Structure 1
Amino acid sequence: MATSSLAVKPTPTGPQVFICFRGAGVRKHFISFLDPALRKANINVFIDEDEYLGSDLVNLLKRIEESEIALVIFSEDFTSSYWCLEELAKIKECKDQGRLKVIPIFYKVKPSVVKYLKGKFGDHFRDQIRNLRHQPERTQKWEDALLSIPESIGMPLAAQSDRTDKDFITSMVIKIQRLVEHMAVKGNQETEANLPGGSIVPAMKPKREANSQGGSMVLAMKPETEASHQGGFVVSARQLGIAFSDKSRCWSWSSITGRNGLSYILLSLLFTREKSGLRPGKTFED
């Protein structure tokens, strides 16, 4: 019997990006390009298709709570979906709690149409209101979310725009990458500020050595002050310069949450010290 093997791509790490959208047309044309483009950029994306088969829809609300960034793709048919409005209300709730960054994407619909419920977008919403007139508290949350989310800085793509979806998605990916990097730096600074001595491992005595590859600076640690976690090192980011940081086969960034609720960025070595031969003061060769 012939056997075949499938190449398994590593799961992206970092802040989870939840994508909220409506419609088969948006899924087939826009999301089908956006999703792989974000993953190719090593951005940790979650869409409804990533949920386990057989799971309840309410699990998607939990995925929103687990995320740090939400992309809301407003399209003309967005408000025709009861579930999209439920997700939007949850996104607003997490945003108001300071737990979620929200980026509204106005896909071939004007921001004013969303905020002021104009045209078919507004008609669909009013149909939802009539169908659930016995649940005014729920529909009020939807309306509040539709007023609030468009207030965040987002990105519009007009219906008659000269830009292609591909060009628009490329610019989206770049801006989301910048946001993820900014969040990582800010989170690290907050972590250091809340730890004794202002660094993750105060006892560490790092020094910088010139690397033979272009004179870049790397961190060398004395063995007696070395700290490790599953092959990774916990160091003060303000003192750290990483050689070959662009080589994904060598390093992995991941986000963890401590008991105090703060997010920590963990830099892990993808090879064990025994296999890599990594010693204090030594870097990987390409």
Structure 2
Amino acid sequence: MPAKKSILITEESILKRNHKKPRHTCFINTIIGCILIKLVFLVIAAKYSLIYGRLSANNTSPLPRFDNESCHSFNDGQTNSNLTSLVSPSKVHKVFLNFRGEQLRYNFVSHLTDAFERHRIKFFIDKYEQRGKDVKHLLVRIEESSIALAIFSTRYPESSWCMDELVKMKKLVDQGKLRVIPIFYKVEPKDVRNPNRGSEFGRNFWRLAELVSTTSRREQIKHWLEALECICDKLGLSLGEKSSESDFVYDIVKRVKDAIGLEEEEKSFLGENIKKKSEVSLRLCKKISGDWTGNQRFRSS
């Protein structure tokens, strides 16, 4: 009897040992779990980007108004609020208009914004003027935009706010966060890039510089000159004295739509990359799971 009992114990122990999980099972389960968690995070991130972007488009706060010294650059564009195309989680396709309001508001810019509305292009332009507002409100609107139009005219450098906006635009361009299209409205690009007293644009610039030429603001003038040079180096559009403004407006709209198309391609490329990574992770999960299942069957047999 003792011998039989020992034999039975030995067989039972063998059977139990055979049904124990392989030592590497926990390691494989950990790998599968990590991959599945990463996959879930990728899917959540993609959905969050879409939802957050739409919320940003639909919940744009009321825009401030600015006094006559400002470049007067934007309106909430309520008539264009249906456009919800996305560039990134924090931006929609908004075009920031940077221009000298007292010179262009009721002629050229009004025709341009009408064309934007017809083509459903969301833009910022302040239609009202109110004193006492801070330029910081204006700079926030530049950050919220994906494209900016710097519309240079002879009276553009009369406004320190116009120039400060331009400095902000240059900073965002350097960071890769903004596309700027320079528009030369009846002014020579070379006179804008290197303002001198031989041109009306240059005379207005240096007149403004003299007004702010204190020790604490000389650095600001340097930033203005750097911004003019940087933005003028971009591919822009120029209107001569005897050119057709209607054709010029059409060219600007086309250029903006092309720029929006480039943003769309970048967004699509990012989405495709996320999708491909998700598919690769899923296939890897299935492969590891299949290998593990096959190994278990082999051991059971």
Scaled by the length of structure 2, the TM-score of the pair is 0.59
Residue 137 (structure 1) aligns with: 219
Output aligned runs, 1:81-230, within 5 Å. Answer: 81-118=159-196, 119-134=199-214, 135-161=217-243, 164-193=244-273, 195=274, 197-198=276-277
Which AA in structure 2 matches 1:160?
K
Change (3 A) 1:9 1:144: closer
CA contact (8 A) 1:20 1:87 kept: yes
Q: Which has the higher strand share?
A: 1
Alpha-carbon deviations, 1:199-251, whole Å to 9, x = none? 69998xxxxxxxxxxxxxxxxxxxxxxxxxxxxxxxxxxxxxxxxxxxxxxxx
Residue 96 of structure 1: CA displacement?
Answer: 0.6
Give the 3-state SS of the residue equivalent to 1:106 in structure 2. Answer: strand
CA distance, structure 1, for counterparts of residue 195 and residue 139 of structure 2: 24
Alpha-carbon deviations, 1:11-56, whole Å to 9, x = none? 1333111000004231111011001211211111011338999853
Residue 97 of structure 1: CA displacement?
Answer: 0.6
CA distance, structure 2, for counterparts of residue 200 and residue 61 of structure 1: 41
CA distance, structure 1, for counterparts of residue 80 and residue 109 of structure 2: 21
Residue 154 of structure 1: CA displacement?
Answer: 0.4
Change (3 A) 1:130 1:10: closer
Alpha-carbon deviations, 1:59-78, whole Å to 9, x = none? 11000011110000000111
Residue 220 (structure 1) aligns with: none
Residue 233 (structure 1) aligns with: none
Structure with higher RCO (Cα < 8 A, 6+ apart)? 2
Change (3 A) 1:53 1:125: closer
Which AA in structure 2 matches 1:45?
F
Residue 132 of structure 1: CA displacement?
Answer: 1.4
Percent identity over the alignment is 36
Output aligned runs, 1:44-83, within 5 Å. Answer: 44-49=122-127, 56-83=134-161
Residue 215 (structure 1) aligns with: none
Q: Which runs of 5+ in 1 are unaligned?
A: 1-7, 204-286
CA distance, structure 2, for counterparts of residue 77 and residue 169 of structure 1: 20
Q: Which has the higher helix share?
A: 2
Matched, 1:25 2:131: no
Change (3 A) 1:51 1:39: farther
CA contact (8 A) 1:129 1:139 kept: yes
CA distance, structure 2, for counterparts of residue 36 and residue 122 of structure 1: 31
Residue 101 of structure 1: CA displacement?
Answer: 0.2
Residue 175 of structure 1: CA displacement?
Answer: 1.9
Alpha-carbon deviations, 1:237-282, whole Å to 9, x = none? xxxxxxxxxxxxxxxxxxxxxxxxxxxxxxxxxxxxxxxxxxxxxx
Give the 3-state SS of the residue equivalent to 1:28 in structure 2. Answer: coil
Moved more, 179-188 or 54-63: 54-63
CA distance, structure 2, for counterparts of residue 83 and residue 28 of structure 1: 19
Which AA in structure 1 matches 2:207?
D
Scaled by the length of structure 1, the TM-score of the pair is 0.62
Which AA in structure 2 matches 1:86?
D
CA distance, structure 2, for counterparts of residue 16 and residue 42 of structure 1: 11
**What is the root-mean-square deviation of aligned Cα atoms in Å?**
2.6
Residue 191 of structure 1: CA displacement?
Answer: 3.5
Which AA in structure 1 matches 2:239?
L
Equivalent position to 2:115, from 37, 44, 54 = 37
CA distance, structure 1, for counterparts of residue 202 and residue 106 of structure 2: 24
CA distance, structure 2, for counterparts of residue 132 and residue 54 of structure 1: 19
Residue 31 (structure 2) aligns with: none
- Asked which structure has the greater CA Rg, the reply is 2
